[in-house]
Structure 1
Amino acid sequence: MPAQAIKYYRFGNPLDVLSVENVPRGSPGQGEVMVRMTARPINPSDLIPIRGAYAHRISLPSVPGYEGVGIVVDAGPGVSREWIGRRVLPLRGEGTWQEYVISPAKWLVRVPSSLEDGIAAQLYINPITAWLACTEKLELQAGDTLVVNACGSSLGRLIAQLSRIAGYRLIAVTGNADNERELLRLGAAHVIHSANVSVRHTVMELTQGRGADAAIDSIGGAPGTELAFCLKPYETLLGIGLLSGRPLDGEAIRSGTSTLYKMFHLRLWNGEATERSWHDTFDHVLEMIAGGRLTLMDSVIRYPLAEFRHAVGIAETPGRAAGKVLLTD
């Protein structure tokens, strides 16, 4: 029986290169399950590869989508039939922007019944990135000062909440003044509107000239480069994204600062994480979310998979109200 899938055969503007087509449903192999997807968020990290940013490691044609939630409908050889009917995150398998996803059973994450699909679909990319960046990569301690750009994003809002949980001081940088009240409510100590002031000068004022203990850059280009000048000597700027599509000015950072620059990619952590550490990390993050200590952005609109063009258009609308756009079953 055929199933719908969103695919692209060349790189470019998502609205130009994505198309919906019928594909064979397939069947799970050794150690795999088949999951009927019920919800998938549209993240910047889903759209950036379509534009060709990582063309060297993407085989075409490809199905986009890194996360989502669904129900196990079949189990391959070597997998307990008890998985069938369970609601899970089918991760590290096929792209999620299709009706059915085949995924390795050992990486499946069970979803608590208390979490509805719109929240469950968002449990991977941003929560795990925020947790690992702040705890494992930067090893932030209570009392440390962290500066983060693009902080009005889903990821930034999670980092703000983690600052309250872990006790570090967050200086949130955002280009939208409308985000200030919400970021302060979530846990940020200060909010800088990057369109109005110098981020570097403001950070130095807020830290009495000492600079921050760490920084997280999601933008790249000039905004990311500026963060390198906001740090104490020999502290770390962690790059986790390139929303601008432009790299940092490495020469300016090397010649003008003693900042240590590191990159964090979730896919590289995936390659290093053991099955035990993978599930321990999810268990910890899920405990915080299920307990209400961490909250995710409510979905503002849901579109059926076949109406992906409308959904992508809404997700990429500049200045739209905060919230996730979901592709549903």
Structure 2
Amino acid sequence: MNAEGLVEIVLPGKVEPEGLRIRHGDVPVPGTGQVLIRMEATGISFAEQQMRRGRYYDQPEFPFVPGYDLVGTVLATGEGVDPGLAGTRVAALLKVGGWASHVLVEAADVVPVPDGIGAAEAETLVVNGVTAWRMLHRTARVRAGQTVVVLGANGGVGSVLVQLARAAGAKVIGTASARHHAVLRGQGVVPVDHRTEDVAARIRELAPGGVDAVFDHVGGRGIVDSWHLLAPGGTLVSYGSASTRDDEGSGQWPVLKLLGRVWLWNALPNGRRAYFFNLWAGRSLAKKRFRARLRADLTQVFAALQRGDVTARIAAQLPLSQIAEAMRLAESGTVAGKVVLNP
């Protein structure tokens, strides 16, 4: 096992994709309560794109190994862990550390991947799938017959969100550039071109009475339009600030502004609600509950994949050694789904 050697990608600071470093070392040994996972698939999320710019809300200090999630096989177990886990394919939500050939993870944080689901398929649905599932079913509580708007309907989270919403019986309006409209129509989504159309005006034409939910990863000034698209009783779920990705200055300020808007809107007596979605909310205070909910939600997402409600959207697969190319592809805005990294 140790003869393989450890390979990991290090983010040394605010660098261009070519500045990411490949580091070699010894394969770590699991401690008490840990498992050693041989990574089979990890991926590039919007979080890592922000981290590269030093703009992710609570990223660690440089240097560090990025990688929000991974799928792989348990190679070894530490003291206090069921040795029967060895040889099991599992998924894990990490926030950082996944861009490595071998990763130590708390055994309580891994979720088994059902037989018949490939590593790359599963990888597209860990952070993206859990985020989409929770926003749809736990936050907005979307029901059959409702109308929802998904901004960035071709993206990593958006592409899962539109499929889960359609499976729940909702009508979906999704924004994307024209090249993705045929696929969206095939999924029963009404597409709106955010590059050439006045998005808010077009959505008002499609839903004159307002919509029941808007899922907004863009943030910035456009979040006000998203709020005004809501029907009485509607829900706005803000889960990012993509519009500020390339801005200079504090990476925390855009999030604080969003939180301020959410607080003010919720103080208004109009029956509408706004949320800023944080996947990690409650983890530090109620770790056991957080883990149980993660397991339950990811299990639901994997079941949706097995039923055919969701299709894994793999934009491309590249090895860790081609991280610069993979990062540029993920940031290009030209792909649908997720860029997956393999060992």
Say whether the fold is shared (TM-score over 0.5). yes
The one-letter code sitting in structure 2 at the alignment partner of 1:245 is: T
AA aligned opposite 2:342: T
Is the 1:146–1:215 Cα contact (8 Å) retained in structure 2?
yes
Q: Does 1:326 align with 2:340?
A: yes
CA distance in 2, matches of 1:282, 1:55: 24
Identify the match of residue 158 of structure 2 among 156, 159, 165: 156
Shift of 1:318: 3.8
Kindly report which structure 2 residues correspond to 1:1-329, keeping only aligned pairs within 5 A, or say none.
1=2, 2-16=5-19, 18-54=20-56, 56-92=58-94, 95-174=97-176, 176-188=177-189, 190-208=190-208, 210-233=209-232, 235-245=234-244, 247=254, 260-268=273-281, 270-271=283-284, 272=286, 273-300=289-316, 302-319=317-334, 321-329=335-343
Deviation at 1:132, TM superposition (A): 0.4
Name the amino acid aligned to 1:311. A
Q: Distance in 1 between matches of 2:114 and 2:275?
A: 34
Q: 2:121 aligns to what SS in structure 1?
A: helix
Q: Is the 8 A contact 1:68 1:122 kept in 2?
A: no
CA-CA distance at 1:26 after TM superposition: 2.2
1:103 Cα offset (Å)? 0.4
Identity of aligned residues (%): 28
Following superposition, the deviation at residue 294 of structure 1 comes to: 1.1
1:14·1:47 contact (CA, 8 Å) conserved in 2?
Answer: no
Question: Could you say what secondary structure the match of 2:38 adopts?
Answer: strand
Q: Which residue of 1 aligns with 2:250?
A: none
Following superposition, the deviation at residue 90 of structure 1 comes to 3.2
Q: Tell me the SS of whatever aligns to 2:340.
A: strand
C-alpha displacement of 1:310:
2.0
Structure 2 CA distance for aligned equivalents of residues 5 and 231 of structure 1:
44
Rounded to whole Å, the distance in 2 between the matches of 1:99 and 1:165 is: 35
Q: 1:307 to 1:195 in 2, by over 3 A?
A: closer
Unmatched tracts of structure 2, length 5 or more: 246-253
Q: Distance in 1 between matches of 2:338 and 2:57?
A: 26
RMSD: 2.5
Q: Which whole-Å CA distance do the structure 2 matches of 1:309 and 1:275 have between them? A: 33
How far off is 1:202 after superposition?
Answer: 1.9
Q: Which moved more, 1:22-31 or 1:33-42?
A: 22-31
Q: Give the number of equivalent residue pairs.
A: 322
The answer to whether the 8 A contact 2:282-2:290 is kept is no
Q: Tell me the distance in 2 between the aligned counterparts of 1:140 and 1:196.
A: 29
Give the letter for the 1:6 counterpart.
I
Aligned-partner Cα distance in 1 for 2:69–2:96: 10
Q: Judging changes above 3 Å, is the alpha-carbon distance between structure 1 residues 133 and 27 closer, same or farther for their aligned structure 2 residues?
A: same
Q: Distance in 2 between matches of 1:315 and 1:132?
A: 24
Deviates more, 1:36-45 or 1:48-57: 48-57
Residue 239 to residue 201, structure 1, CA distance change in 2 (3 Å): same
| TM-score of the superposed pair, with normalisation by structure 1 | 0.88
Distance 1:123 1:322, change over 3 A: closer
- Out of 307-316 and 74-83, give the one that drifted further: 307-316
d(CA) in 2 for partners of 1:150 and 1:287?
A: 24
1:277 Cα shift?
2.4
Letter matched to residue 3 of structure 1: L
Per-residue deviation, 1:94: 5.5
1:222-277 deviations in Å (ceiling 9; x for gaps): 3333212211246322111111226478779969x965431102122655544332
The 3 A distance-change label for structure 1 pair 75 and 57 is: same
User: Shift in Å at residue 137 of structure 1?
Assistant: 0.4
**Which ranges in structure 1 are unaligned for 5 or more consecutive residues?**
none
> Contact between 1:228 and 1:253, CA under 8 Å: does it hold in 2?
no
Query: Contact 2:314–2:339 at 8 Å: present in 1 too?
Result: no
CA deviations on 1:18-76 (whole Å, 9 max, x unpaired) are: 21112342211111100111221222222212211136541332110111211111111
* Cα separation, 1, equivalents of 2:338 and 2:217: 18
Structure-2 change in CA distance of 1:106 and 1:241 (3 Å) = same
Residue 114 of structure 1 and its aligned partner are, at CA, apart by 0.6
Q: TM-score, normalised by structure 2?
A: 0.85
Aligned AA (1:159): L
The higher relative CO (CA closer than 8 Å, separation ≥ 6) is in 2
Contact 2:219 2:243 in 1 (8 A): yes
Letter in 2 for 1:195: R
Q: State the SS of the aligned residue for 1:82.
A: helix
For the residue of structure 2 that corresponds to 1:266, the secondary structure is coil
Q: State the 1:108 CA deviation.
A: 1.0
